[in-house]
Structures are given as C-alpha cells and as structure tokens.
C-alpha cells in the first residue's frame, strides 16, 4: 500500500468557503503532499494559482451537490473548469433521471462531459446513500460503459457518506476496468485503509491531515 497521503483528495466544498480558506487548503495540500485538492468550480482559477509550482493535482466539482442541473449546464461548467486549470472533474449524475430509469440520458451526460474534458480525469459521483444495492450495481455499470475514469460514492452532502458495502458492490461491477473514489465520512487512518484494501484508488476527505497524522 502506498503512503496514505497519495490517496487523498484534500477537499473543501462548503457553501461558506472563502478565498482565504481555499488558499489554506492548497497550502496544506502542498505541505503534506496530498495527491490533489478538490474545490467547487468557481474556485478553480484561484486554487490553480495557489498550487503553481507544486505537484498537487486540481479537481473541480460539476453539478454539485445535487446533480439535477441540466446536462448542457454541466457540460459548460466542466469546460470552464478545465480552461481554468482543473485536471480532474468530479461530476454528480442526475439521480432523479437514474431513478426514473432514464439510463440512456444518464450515460449520455457522462459521455458528453468526458468528451468535453478530453484527456482529463472524470470521476462520476453516484450518491450511494440514495440507491439500493441493485441500483448501485446498475449505475456503476453505466458509469463504466460511459467511459469515465472513476466511479465515486458520494458528495458528502447526502444523508450519509461512503460505506464499505457500497465499495464492495461497486468493485464487484467495475473490477479493475475503472477506478473507485470513496468520499464522505472518512475521518481516520484505519477507516481509510479499510477502503484502500477493498480497492479504492482515491479518498475524498476534509480530514486529510488528521488521517495522515494518526496513521
């Protein structure tokens, strides 16, 4: 297992996030060697500037946190985020569409965003707290078929975050074909390691410093 810091997307997505807090997030990521920072799309240009001359990657959320924005608006948001300097996109699917079994529309939206961002990484948030086990299987399959790079458990703004069971289901479907990101409620090293042992490649957390300090 790699060092825990290499799995962490150091995250600040609160509605109240300020410029100084984004600066602090980026400075922490550089200091502790986290893999990436993850911010809302309006802060991408700012974070890119704060991360210059570092190896830390930059991820932006799209359609966050509800996923219910129009596909065209998500596509434009993703396009702008990449232009502003994001190398990774964390998008939220339209959960209501998925619940209505509009599978072609859900898949098409993912495909269009991936096409828009080109070689940049696409992580697709399925918000497992709102899904049955069967639905987690189905949507993981859709994400994989749509050409995304990662399937991701949660926004952290739903009724709960990730669970080990969620990841087990996702891993059973995607295997090693695409990667998995777990996020929401992961606040200590022991829990982080449990997810990694199940096959998670990235962990989204606002508790990254605590995780690596208590390893």
Catalogue the active-site residues: 90, 152, 181
Plot region of 128 (φ>0 → left; ψ -120 to 50 → alpha; else → beta): alpha
Residue 129 CB neighbours (<10 A): 18
Q: At 9, which helix (H) or strand (E)? A: strand 8-12
Q: Find residue 121's DSSP bridge partners.
A: 88
Residue pair 191/198 in contact by the 8 Å Cβ criterion: no
The pairing of strands 57-62 and 202-205 is unpaired
* Pairwise CA distance, residues 115 & 50, whole Å: 28
């Amino acid at each position: 297992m790699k060092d825990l810091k290499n799995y962490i997307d150091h995250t600040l997505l609160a509605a109240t996030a300020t410029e100084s807090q984004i600066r602090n997030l980026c400075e922490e990521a550089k200091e502790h060697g986290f893999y990436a920072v993850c911010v809302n799309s309006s802060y991408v240009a700012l974070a890119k500037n704060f991360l210059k001359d570092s190896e830390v990657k930059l991820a932006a959320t799209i359609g966050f946190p509800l996923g219910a924005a129009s596909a065209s608006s998500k596509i434009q948001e993703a396009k702008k985020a990449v232009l502003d300097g994001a190398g990774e996109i964390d998008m939220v699917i339209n959960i209501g569409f998925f619940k209505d079994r509009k599978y072609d529309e859900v898949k098409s939206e993912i495909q269009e965003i991936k096409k828009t961002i080109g070689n940049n990484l696409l992580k697709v948030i399925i918000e497992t707290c709102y899904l049955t086990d069967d639905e987690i299987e189905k949507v993981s399959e859709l994400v994989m078929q749509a050409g995304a790079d990662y399937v991701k458990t949660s926004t952290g703004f739903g009724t709960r975050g990730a669970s080990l069971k969620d990841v087990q289901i996702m891993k059973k479907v995607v295997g090693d074909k695409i990667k998995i990101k777990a996020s929401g409620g992961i606040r200590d090293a022991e829990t982080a390691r449990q997810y990694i042992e199940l096959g998670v490649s990235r962990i989204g957390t606002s508790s990254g410093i605590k995780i690596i300090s208590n390893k």
